[in-house]
Amino acid sequence: MSIPILDLTAPLVCLPHLLVHVSHLQYPNNPTIVHYNVKSFIAKKEILFADLNGFDILAFTETWLSPTVDSADLLFPSYRTPFKRHRPNDPRGGIILYIKSDIFATERPD
């Protein structure tokens, strides 16, 4: 079983099966990051945003999102469209990553 890793010394945010390159070139401060194992993201979406919107990067595991959930339904104000992965044959698991819109981030293909 993989343990989620958030490495603050490299310009990369890494969760199991999701690599995102984060550019610090236009972001002079160290980003603030929070990770939660949420066990059903949709049921807690509004409270999570209300409590955590001060962080630059939000990482959630055990989201339990299905492939039918559209990214447009997951948007948070002032954050980029989230990066997400789900388990194709299992309703459990899944990850989602939110990054503030003023931080450049792209999903890596590897």
Residue 3: band (very low, low, confident or very high) from pLDDT cuts 50, 70, 90 = very low
* Residues spanned by the domain of 70: 5-107
Bigger pLDDT: 28 vs 44: 44
36-51 per-position pLDDT tens digit: 999 999 999 999 999 9
Residue 92: band (very low, low, confident or very high) from pLDDT cuts 50, 70, 90 = confident
β-pairing, 33-37 with 5-7? unpaired
Range 65-73 contact pairs with CB under 8 angstroms and sequence separation of 24 or more: 65/41, 65/94, 65/96, 66/91, 69/42
Domain count, the chain: 1
Here the CATH number for the domain that contains residue 83 is: 3.60.10.10
Edge-to-edge strand ranges of the sheet holding 5-7: 5-7, 12-15, 18-23, 104-107
Q: What percent of the chain has pLDDT over 90?
A: 36
